[in-house]
Chains A and B, each alone.
Chain A
Amino acid sequence: MKSTINILRKELREMFTRSTILPVIVIAILLVAMGNMLSGAEEQATSAPVIGLVIEDDGILAYVAFDTIFDHSVLVYNGTDVEEGLSAVTEYDGTALLRISSSFTGDILSGSPGMISIYWVMRGAGLMDSISSSAVNAVLWHVDRAISLHLIEMNASVDAGLALAPTIRSDMTIFGDKEMDGVSPGELSVVLSAQSFMVPVVIMMLIMAAGGTVISSMGMEKENKTLETLLTLPVRRSSIVTGKLVAGALIGLVMAAIYMVGFNYYMSAFSGSSAIDLEEFDLVLSPIDYVLVGLSLFITLIAALSMCMVVGTFARNYKSAQTLTMSITFLAMVPMFIVIFKDFSTLPLAGQIVLFAIPFSHPMMAMRALMFDDYGLVLGGIGYVTVFAIVMIGITVWIFRTDRLLVGRIDRKALSRRWDLTSMIRPKG
């Protein structure tokens, strides 16, 4: 323990320099700028939406509405059962189910607006999963206009205001098991995209920065010719590995703290535009959820760092360490992009396998998964990453016990000699 702390202190001195902190601060500032930019962005794109329709009314205005909807959309369900309609919409990758209530015609003719309920079917919270609600809004606009025209044609005795806006809508967004009454997907995705975008980016940068320091530390031991001396010291190889890992993790946490400040600014840029209260729909994380997110992040950081240690043993000097860091960064960017654009559940199987296998994915997915109570994915991820980390640490310690670090390859004959039975039983330094 004493030796581990000694190594740890030295590692911190070596790793924690101005050049490791500066990029982080720059990136944190960039986050603030990006938040300001993105909060202005709006959704676009309009084509005929795939929707289902439930009509409970057999009045004339419901018929007008049906006609209009039929003309302006791809109708995958037309019936009277909401459940059935929803499953049809889900099956055909539709956007929403519209429901026209039984009092629709009667309400309008008697002077109050007719209710159209919209059940938005959201399948994921990634950027590419978000539904184009504007297409459905366009359909509703056509419905309004058609009914207005009809009211005027039939000389109905309704007041002008109602004739121009004969319907009102109510939104409900269905995502997984959650039904969020009064929330449109647009409102939801503004809030979620901030999070679905930022969390993966921040984690990717964290892995890049912390992993980079560990790989560089290995490269520098070789470049500065300190490795040989270090290896002859009476300190357990596992202590050397632990010292480097913990130092990397601490630096990662300091960086995370800096990022979080930037992230907070970024989020506050959205607070004005998001009208919905996440709390009301149980979309906030419970303390246990936060513990799980933290655990997922911590274990992944350890896994990432131990993987970097293995990679770092290939570093011959500081320069080649930089190149190797790039490979880890790339590996972290793959899940980052996938998670930004798609939810785990909306990916094809091959994509799911890749995403699950890359350990860095899990903390990127954890927060959103927990928001929608997908505990299986998060717990499974934590389990997988833990095993991954243990294997990586094992490999690292093993490499430190061989002379691979100095010679650049593993002597098989020497290995089989060292791993004979007697030496397996006796613990080695």
Chain B
Amino acid sequence: MDRTTDDADSESLALVVSDLVKDYGESRALKGISFSVKRGEVFGLIGPNGAGKTTALRIVSTILQITSGSVSIFGVDISRRPHDARKMLSYLPEDAGAYRNLTGEEYLRFIARFFAEDNEGVSEIVSKGVEIADLGDRMRDKVDTYSKGMTRRLLVARALMIGPKIAVLDELTSGLDVLNAQEIRKIVKETSRRGTTILLSSHNMLEVELMCDRIALINDGRIVELGTPRELKDRHGADNIEEVFTEVVS
């Protein structure tokens, strides 16, 4: 590989994961996975429970330490410069909450302050968040009083309102009803169109097929399939991703 293509690579790649291994004590959750996500791409991780999706997403989000291998976000090695990586990313945990003594709006403001330069910037981000969360008057109620789906919407809003360079979304629509899920997907798509790179995981195969430009199927800590939904279906002669999943995993 010569220099020009190398440069072009790091220019166009939002995320590079290479040979990533993660041990929890004695047990190995990730057994060397490699993939890369292009700028502006929507990339999906699928796989059975305990396959290692959350582990991978948490490592990319800089909150788990790498056992071996490396991850870089827009050319920034996350274990060497985690602070710089954090400025570019936004993480939605699969099972997250917000500070219960804050109202929804206060929570968004709390987060916005880490990303904006001044008060104006904060207000701008918050109003974006309020729009995404779409909780109406309930924004002024304490998070304590929210339903699961409302909290999820607030957290999605939190993750996307800052317009991150890369958004890491673990089980994006978990806990949301069909309509809410549809709307959240639409918002994520829009965010992606505005230039945010998306890395998500999901157990909803339809969702993955609808949203993702490319998919990696993880099983037992290894990537066992990788490609566009079209490619995967063709490769396995399947009608949809669910069939691919079933065939590969069982």
Chain A positions within 8 Å of B, measured between CB atoms, are 2-3, 6, 9-10, 13-14, 17, 224-226, 228-229, 231-236, 402-403, 406-407, 409, 411, 413-415, 417-418, 422-423, 426, 428-429
Contact = CB atoms under 8 A, between A and B. Distances in A.
A398 B146 CA distance: 35
Contacts of A407: 24, 64
Given A234-B115, A417-B79, A423-B79, 8 more contacts: A226-B96, A226-B97, A228-B93, A232-B63, A417-B65, A422-B80, A423-B80, A426-B80
Given A6-B110, A13-B99, A232 B65 contact: no
Nearest to B25: A409
Nearest to B170: A228
B95 A225 contact: yes
Contacts of B110: 6, 9-10
A153 B197 CA distance: 113
Contacts of A426: 80-81
Contact of B23 (A9, A14, A225, A413): A413
For chain B, the bracket of interface size reads 35 or more
Task: Give 9 nearest A-B pairs by CB, closest first.
Answer: A429-B83, A414-B65, A225-B97, A234-B86, A224-B97, A232-B91, A234-B87, A228-B93, A6-B113
A235 B110 CA distance: 12
25 contacts: A2-B113, A6-B113, A10-B102, A13-B99, A13-B101, A224-B98, A224-B100, A231-B62, A232-B63, A232-B90, A233-B114, A234-B83, A234-B115, A235-B86, A403-B65, A406-B64, A409-B25, A411-B23, A411-B25, A413-B23, A414-B66, A417-B79, A429-B81, A429-B82, A429-B84
Contacts of A422: 80
A426 B83 CA distance: 12
B189 interface: no
Q: Which of A14, A228, A231 has the most CB of B within 10 A?
A: A228
A407 B115 CA distance: 27
Contact of B114 (A9, A224, A235, A415): A235
B23 A428 contact: no
Interface in B38-90: 58, 61-68, 79-84, 86-87, 89-90
Contacts of A411: 23-25, 65, 67
Given A225-B93, A225-B95, A429-B82, A402 B65 contact: yes
Interface of B: 23-25, 58, 61-68, 79-84, 86-87, 89-91, 93, 95-102, 106, 110-111, 113-115, 155, 158
A406 B64 CA distance: 8
B152 to A, nearest CB: 12
Contacts of B158: 229
Given A403-B63, A406-B64, A413-B68, A14 B86 contact: no
Contacts of B66: 414, 417
B125 to A, nearest CB: 13
Contacts of B63: 228, 231-232, 403, 406
Nearest to B88: A234
A229 B67 contact: no
A224 B102 CA distance: 12
A232 B101 CA distance: 21
Contacts of A10: 99, 102, 110
A232 B62 contact: yes
Q: Which of B58, B91, B99 has the most chain A CB atoms inside 10 A of its CB?
A: B99
Given A6-B114, A10-B99, A232-B89, A428 B83 contact: yes
Contact of B102 (A13, A228, A413, A428): A13
